[in-house]
Structure 1
Amino acid sequence: MSGQVQGPRVPFHKAVSEALKWEMENDENVFVMGEDVGALGSIFQTTAGLHQQFGEERVRDTPISESGFVSAAVGAAMSGMKPVVELMFNDFIGVCLDPLYNMAAKNAYHSGGGQAVPLVLMTSVGGGYCDGSQHSQSLYATFCHMPGMKVVAPSNAYDARGLMHAAIEDPNPVIYMFHKMLVGLGWYGSVKMASIPVPNERFTVPIGKAQVKREGTDITLVGWGVTLHYALQAAESLSDSGISAEVIDLRSLVPLDMETIMASLEKTGRLIVVDEDYKNCGVAGEVLARISESNLSALRSSPRRICFPDIPIPFARPMEQFARPSAEKIVGTAIAMLEAA
């Protein structure tokens, strides 16, 4: 459990780079590739120091051709290597989707389980820093919709390291999605609570297992990535009003841990899911749908989702912040749900 670790706080980006360093030191098949991952260490500093230690053969700066280097990574994985490829912004998935969903995701099925694709696609998500509609999306559902790939979304440095080790270890392709506001670089905005103590050793966080971050009895708040922190902030505010909120960090979106959510809902009877992806056909909607199919009687009121509206993400800061999920929106929704009961 991340809360039991002692020591200095570690930035999210350093936790990722330390995980990659350990894996590369201990497995010569692991290598990194992507735009600016070499001498620069990635614009997110997730590969900082690796180029100096391992050289350009194992830390490969690529041309600005996502379709080219993602295809190359898929081919390398099919050949027995373990590439970690950084897609700088998840918004760029449109130009390299074919090798992912037609090759990487399906190859184990096509080969009857005979040929795995141990690929990690590491990509940033999220807005909040005024970078416009083509660099600010959180396209979780786009990846979750395609069978054959696992999808993880850590909310803090501990899970960032543990999930990276688990992703590299996994024989399946894993989409590793991190929010820019968590990496610990000021110009993206920073969520301070994402930087927490992390053991300087190899450990794994299980893919497909959510975590209860705060226990409560009145309402369940579900988030992942940056929305987990909004849920925790909201829970703290709600406690001042005498409302006890339980907070769950999904951590993994595929597989989706519905058991942990349902166990919480059995206690609270009320649910809000907070997702920075678009509302239409999103992960939040999937959670609500699975609850309605499996145990609708656990609900004391209609579940709610707080998502980004189905519009292009505005560039102007006031408009972008107005549209994004927030702790304030969660608090208002939760109070309204309880007052209507």
Structure 2
Amino acid sequence: MTFILYLALIIVFTKAAGAISVKLGQPSVLGKLLAGILLGPAILGWVQPDAFIGHFSEIGVLLLMFIAGLETDVDQLRKNWKASFAVAVGGIILPFIGGYALAAGFGLTNNEALFLGLLLCATSVSISVQTLKEMDRLGSREGTTILGAAVVDDVIVVILLAVMMSFLGTAGDVSIGLLIGKKVLFFIVVIAAGWFIVPWFMKLFAPFKVTEAVMSAGLIVCLAFSYFAEMMGIAGIIGAFAAGIAISQTSFKHQVETKIEPIAYTLFVPVFFVSIGLNITFDGVGSQWLFIVLLTIVAVITKLIGGGAGARLTGFDNRSSIIIGSGMVSRGEVALIIASTGLQAGLLLPDYFTSVVLVVILTTLITPPLLKAVFKEDRQLASN
């Protein structure tokens, strides 16, 4: 029965902390993330990370990205694909160089430094999505560019990780051609399914004389796309986002969106936010405080400048470029997965694992107030 207590605590603390955060002029998501740190092993220890939390949080982030797909302006996304690609590339090159240089400066081996550089290349925009949604800017030109860049970033980083594991001899025989082919196949299948199969499936399912037939059909599409993405070596959140876009092009968009949001934001999404904070512990990090501070600074600045430069080179003005760069700062669950992979492969030393996880979570905590600040400044300048 422990999981029932966990759920009650998570809902109470995330809603209360979110309300306090808004009262202090910050996005509610910041309070929800801090609630996870407060409830978890780092402070109170009332909620422990376990399989239940893991499964619920995974559903939460999938639903969050599914909703983001439903709300995405596809025409805007199509217009900004060049900018999204440039932002993703800029947000990979600079963090890689910065992470490698810092790791080398702290005496890590060449392989370990390469891996740390790659880890900083990751981007997870699930937190940025929630922040943009709260500010009603998810459908803006900047918002759609951030979403598109995150998709490109995920594909490139996964391929680079596979290449690195192969060349460093920790993953056995890896066919790079097969890896790239699977990514290409994913997008071909998803585009074709979104264009032909999803509309047909939604129309087929909608007349069923059962409760919530349309929403059930939407969830089936979301979970199927997410599972297929994982099969193809791509993060499930990309599949969920693609499913949302596919359904947004049908007449069932509004019905699915209005039905899915209450479930997602009442139960599953709060667990996802808390799960991030549960990964924080302060054991043994005192001796590495300088490494943590410097790596956090490098992680934030390189994404901000790298992603912003990509936006600036593709026609965005300085203010919009800073907004886009800010939206790419959060590393989130993608970097946590990469860190775990590196630990198992011996490319990330156990002594540094906790510090790296802490840095990843700090970038996630920094993103909401950073986005809020740059959007506020943008609105002030626009009104002058």
Q: Structure 1 or 2: larger strand share?
A: 1
Normalising to structure 1: TM-score of the pair?
0.25
Q: Structure 1 or 2: larger helix share?
A: 2
Higher relative CO (Cα under 8 Å, sequence separation at least 6) belongs to 2
Normalising to structure 2: TM-score of the pair?
0.23
